[in-house]
Amino acid sequence: MYMLEAIGLEKTFVTSVPRAGRFKAVRTLFSREKRAVTAVKALDFRVAPGEFVGFIGPNGAGKSTTIKMLCGILHPSAGEVRVAGHSPQRDRRKVVRKIGVVFGQRTQLWWDLPLKDSFDILAAMFRLSPAEKERQLVRLEEVLRLREFWDTPVRKLSLGQRMRGDLAAALLHDPEMLVLDEPTIGMDVTAKRQIRTHLKLLNEAYGKTILLTTHDMDDIEQLCQRVIVISRGERIYDGEIGQLRERIGLPTVIRVAYRGDYRIPAGAEAGGGADVPDGGFRIVERREREVAVGCNRSETGVMDVLRQLSQWGEVDDVRVEEPDFEDIIHRIY
Amino acid sequence: MNWLGISVMLYKINVRAGMQYRLNFILSTLLAALVTVSEFLGLVVLLSVFGAIQGWSVWEIGYLYGVLMTAKFLYRAFGSAINNFEPYLVNGTLDQLLLRPMPLLLAVLTSRTRMVGGELLQSLTVLGACVARLLVHGDASWWIVPETLLIICTGTVIMFAVGLATAACGFWITRTEDLSVLTDNATTTACQLPLSLFPEWLRTLLLAVIPFGFINYVPAMFIVRGEWGVWTLAATAAVAAAALLIALGVWKIGVTKYQSTGT
Amino acid sequence: MVIWVLARSMYESRLQYSASHAVRTVASIIFGLIYVSIWQGIGAERELGSYGTVGMVSYIAFNQVILWVTFTSHGLGLEERVRTGQIALDLVRPLHLFVFAASREAGSIAYNALFTALPLYAVYAVSFGLPIPRELSVWAYTAAALAMGAYTALCIGYAIGVTALWTVESRWFSLLNYSVNFTLSGFLMPLDWMPGWLQTIARVSPYPIFNYVPTQIYLGKAGPSSLLVPLVWCLLLTLLCIAASAAVRRKVEVQGG
Q: What is the pLDDT of residues C162-177, one digit of tens each?
A: 988 888 778 888 988 9
Task: Mutation target for B interface from A112, A177, A179: give the one with most B CBs within 10 A.
Answer: A112
Write down the mean pLDDT value for chain B. Answer: 91
Domain count, chain A: 2
Indicate the pLDDT class of residue A328, thresholds 50, 70 and 90: low
Calpha distance C150→C148 (Å, rounded) = 5
Which pLDDT score is estimated for C87? Answer: 83
Once rounded to an integer, what is the mean pLDDT over residues A176-201?
88
How many other CB atoms sit within 10 Å of the CB of residue B208? 10
Q: What is the pLDDT of residue C176?
A: 87
B14, part of any domain:
no
Q: Do C169 and B190 touch (CB under 8 A)?
A: no
Residue A24 reports pLDDT greater than 70? no
Looking at residue A15, its amino acid is: T
Question: Does the residue C225 lie in any domain?
Answer: yes
Using the Cβ of A68 and the Cβ atoms of chain B, whether some distance falls under 8 Å is answered with yes
Average pLDDT of span B3-31: 85
C13 lies in some domain: no
SS3 at position B25: helix
Indicate yes or no: CB of B202 within 8 angstroms of CB of C33. Answer: yes
Asked whether A223 and A275 are in contact (CB, 8 A), the reply is: no
CA distance C42 to C193: 14
Mean pLDDT (chain C, rounded):
88
A110 touches chain B (CB under 8 A): yes
CA B204 vs. chain centroid, Å, equals: 20
Please spell the DSSP secondary structure of A202-226, one letter per residue.
Answer: HHHTT--EEEEE-S-HHHHHHH-SE
The answer on A314 and A298 residing in a single domain is yes
Residue C34 belongs to some domain of the structure:
yes
The whole-angstrom distance between residue A64's C-alpha and the CA centroid of its chain comes to 11
Q: What is the CATH number of the domain that holds A90?
A: 3.40.50.300
Residues of A within 8 A of B103 (CB-CB) are 93
In this prediction, residues A174-188 reach a mean pLDDT of 89
Helices B144-173 and B231-256: crossing angle in degrees, nearest 10, is: 20
B40 contact C CB<8A: no
Cβ atoms of B122 and B116 within 8 Å: the answer is: no
Mutation choice for B interface testing from A68, A99, A213 by most B CBs within 10 A: A68
Tens digits of per-residue pLDDT, B208-231? Answer: 999 999 999 999 999 999 899 999
Summarize the confidence of residues B10-34 as an average pLDDT.
84
> Does residue B53 surpass a pLDDT of 80?
yes
Contacts of residue C37 in chain B, CB cutoff 8 Å? 197-199, 202
User: Average pLDDT, stretch C200-204?
Assistant: 92
Cα dihedral value B188, B193, B195, B198, nearest 10: -90
The ipTM (two decimal places) reads 0.85
* A97 contacts B101? CB cut-off 8 A: yes
For residues A198 and A232, state if they share a domain: yes
B1: chain A residues, CB-CB within 8 Å: 124, 127
Count other Cβ atoms within 10 Å, centred on residue B137: 10
Q: Is C120 domain-assigned?
A: yes
What is the domain range of residue A296?
250-332
Question: How many domains in chain B?
Answer: 1
pLDDT at A94 (0 to 100): 93
Report how far residue A24's alpha carbon sits from residue A313's, in angstroms, rounded to the nearest whole number: 66
| Residue B85: pLDDT over 70 | yes
Q: How many CB atoms lie within 10 A of CB B204?
A: 12
Do A169 and A275 fall into the same domain? no
Domain assignment present for residue B8? The answer is no
Whether residue A130 is found in the same domain as residue A169 = yes
Cβ of C196 under 8 Å from any chain B Cβ? no
CATH, residue A301: 3.30.70
* pLDDT tier at A332, thresholds 50, 70, 90: low
Inside any domain, residue C57:
yes
Q: How confident is the model over A5-29, as a mean pLDDT?
A: 72
CA dist A250 to A149, A246, A321, A324, Å?
A: 41, 8, 11, 11
Residue C161, CA distances (Å) to A180, B33, B195, C81, C248 in order: 39, 21, 38, 10, 10
Minimal Cα–Cα distance from B114 to chain C, Å? 13
Q: List, for residues A39-68, the tens digit of each pLDDT value.
A: 899 999 999 999 999 998 887 888 889 999
Where residue C214 falls among pLDDT bands split at 50, 70, 90? Answer: very high
Residues A207-229 have a mean pLDDT of 88
- Residue C133 placed within a domain: yes
Q: Are residues A226 and A312 in the same domain?
A: no
Q: Is residue B261 part of a domain?
A: no
The yes-or-no verdict on residue B136 having pLDDT over 50 is yes
- In chain C, residues 38-57 whose CB comes closer than 8 Å to chain B: 38, 41-42, 45-46
Residues of B in Cβ contact (< 8 Å) with A117? 13
C67 closest CA partner among C191, C184, C150, C172:
C150
Residues A9 and A46 in one domain: yes
Show the domain range for B196.
Answer: 22-256
Round to whole Å and give the CA distance between C122 and C100: 33
Alpha carbons A194 and A202: distance in angstroms, whole number: 13
Same domain, A53 and A190: yes
Report the C-alpha gap between A209 and B234 in whole angstroms: 55
Report the C-alpha gap between A104 and A167 in whole angstroms.
Answer: 10
If interface means Cβ-Cβ distance under 8 Å, which residues of chain A face chain C? 24-26, 28-29
Using CA atoms, how far apart are residues C104 and A250, in angstroms rounded to an integer? 52
Q: How far is B258 from chain A (nearest CA, A)?
A: 6
Taking CB atoms and an 8 Å limit, are C16 and A26 in contact across chains?
Answer: no
For position B207, what pLDDT does the model report? 95
Range of the domain at C176: 2-7+18-255
Backbone phi, psi, residue B180, to 5°:
-75, -20
Query: What letter represents residue C193's amino acid?
Result: W
Q: Please report the pLDDT score of residue A237 as a whole number.
A: 86
Nearest to B95 among A93, A103, A117 (CB): A103
In this structure, are A306 and A240 located in the same domain? no
d(CA C186, CA C218): 14
Q: Which residue has the higher pLDDT, A109 or A241?
A: A109
- Contact criterion met (CB < 8 Å) for A26 and C18: yes
Same domain, A220 and A292: no
Tell me the average pLDDT of chain A. Answer: 84
Task: Please tell me which residue of chain C has the smallest CA distance to A23.
Answer: C15
Give the pLDDT of residue B36. Answer: 85
| Separation between Cα atoms, residue B7 and residue B177, nearest integer Å | 26
Please name every residue paired with A178 in a beta bridge, in sequence order, or none if there are none: A100, A210
CB-CB under 8 Å, C183 with B41: yes
Among A16, A27, A28, most C C-beta atoms within 10 A, so best to mutate, is: A28
pLDDT at residue A266 is higher than 80:
no
Does B5 reside within a domain? no
Shared-domain flag, residues A133 and A261: no
**Among A246, A264, A286, residue at a domain's last position:** A246
Q: What is the 3-state secondary structure (H, E, C) of A35-81?
A: EEEEEEEEEEEEECCCCEEEEECCCCCCHHHHHHHHHCCCCCCEEEE
The domain boundary residue, chosen from A246, A274, A293: A246
- Nearest by CB to A13, from B10, B18, B259: name it: B259
Chain B residues whose C-beta is within 8 A of a chain A C-beta are 1, 5-6, 9-10, 13, 16-18, 20, 92, 94-96, 98-104, 256-260, 262-263
Do A103 and A231 lie in one domain? The reply is: yes
Given this model, what pLDDT does residue B170 score? 92
Q: What is the pLDDT of residue A31?
A: 58
For residue B190, is it within any domain? yes
B28 interfacial to chain C (CB closer than 8 Å): yes
Contact C180 B38 (CB under 8 A): yes
Residue C39 lies in a domain: yes
Cα dihedral B42→B45→B47→B51 (10° resolution): -170
Q: Looking at the partner chain, which of B18, B102, B258 has a beta carbon nearest the beta carbon of A125?
A: B102
Q: Which strands make up the sheet holding A290-296, listed edge to edge?
A: A281-286, A290-296, A251-258, A315-321
Which of B17, B18, B262 is facing A64, going by the closest CB pair? B262
Split into its structural domains, chain C has a count of 1
Query: What is the percent of chain B where pLDDT is above 70?
Result: 98
Distance CA C28, CA C25 (A): 5
Query: How confident is the model at residue B115, as a pLDDT?
Result: 83
